[in-house]
Amino acid sequence: MSAPPLLDVDGLTLDFRTRAGRVKALDDISFSVQRGEILGIVGESGSGKSVSAYAVMDLLDGNAEIRGGTMHFGGADLIERDRAAVRSMRGREISMIFQSPRTALNPIRSVGRQIADVLVRHGPVPRRQAKEKAIAALRKVRIPDPERRYDAYPFELSGGMCQRVMIAMALACEPMLLIADEPTTGLDVTTQAVILDLIRDLVDNSRMAAILITHDLGLAGEYCDRVAVMHAGHVVETAPMAALLGRPAHPYSAKLVAATPSSAASIDELASIPGNLPNLLRDDLPYCRFCDRCDRRVARCDTEPTPMTAVGEDHLVRCWSPL
């Protein structure tokens, strides 16, 4: 690892203030993404995958509070920089796509104009040329007949087509990082493969990097170079994909890997990991938030905070008794 990472999140800690108290949504999480690679962030729903991405994008609600840690993108500090500067980076340098693409597009604006809006906002692109460029962006995500699709409204397109439009919009300004938050949830398996192949190709053929957020380790295994496993607001393990699948170090990761025989099964469907995520509203959260579900618990788990320790090359784990 010689080149500095494109995105480097280090020790990020974040709470949500709610009526019922503070939700400790993220605790000391660290991960990084290199140019030209896809990082998978894998975990159950509620583990903090999306919150991490929203924090990077500065898309969190007003009740979120960053309590510690740093985020650097291309060398620039995302927390210390003023918000306007971070916002002008969105869509230009970092883009994000979401699940349920049909509701994630403005229903009463043609998809082409939505792409053109992004182009006009970020580039020195005059309105007149924006249309041409938007059509080019549609062509790049292999939408057939892009000239005609430019004028289409989201309700006239299929879910897969809408997701391609969203990718075209996200990539219109050629960002360096694309964050895809469960981009294929709700799409059928064939479309899912088409969309993810598309993202993989775009990363391979440019210097762009991507983060794929998913609850499906099998899916991540197929498309990602590296992976960060999240559990209850902690990153419990980061590793090259092959290393994690071949030799998971954290008990939770091990259970995930064991529970994912093929890409068809998803974590949420598997009842084989006993117990639930701890209530993150609690003020007396254990040092290891997995300990209640863990069968390798040792005395140290309860007395000392767990640091990230190296167990292999580029392989870190947050556990006192790793496998």
User: Which parts of this chain interact with other proteins (CB under 8 A)?
Assistant: 57, 59, 87-92, 95-98, 100, 103-110, 117-118, 121-122, 153, 155-156, 166, 169-170
Q: What minimum distance in Å lies between the beta carbon of 83 and other proteins?
A: 11
Strands (E), the chain: 7-18, 21-33, 38-42, 64-73, 76-77, 94-97, 177-181, 209-214, 226-231, 234-240, 309-312, 315-317
Is 100 or 266 the residue whose CB approaches other proteins more closely?
100
Q: What minimum distance in Å lies between the beta carbon of 271 and other proteins?
A: 29
The residue to which tokens 């009463």 are assigned = 108
Is 167 or 249 the residue whose CB approaches other proteins more closely?
167
Q: What minimum distance in Å lies between the beta carbon of 56 and other proteins?
A: 11
Q: What minimum distance in Å lies between the beta carbon of 318 and other proteins?
A: 29
Q: What minimum distance in Å lies between the beta carbon of 17 and other proteins?
A: 15
Of 33, 23, 103, 37, the C-alpha closest to 71 is 33
Is 81 or 121 the residue whose CB approaches other proteins more closely?
121
Q: Residue 30 is encoded by which pair of tokens?
A: 């660290």
- Burial pattern 113-125, b for ≥16 Cβ within 10 A else e, equals bbbbbbbbebeeb
| Cβ neighbours around 32 below 10 Å, total | 20
Residue 107, φ and ψ in degrees, nearest 5: -70, -20
**DSSP readout, 122-134?**
HSS--HHHHHHHH
Is 11 or 123 the residue whose CB approaches other proteins more closely?
123
- Under DSSP, is residue 196 helix (H, G, I), strand (E, B) or coil? helix
Q: What minimum distance in Å lies between the beta carbon of 75 and other proteins?
A: 19
Of 227, 185, 169, 173, the C-alpha closest to 39 is 227
Is 57 or 232 the residue whose CB approaches other proteins more closely?
57
Is 72 or 122 the residue whose CB approaches other proteins more closely?
122
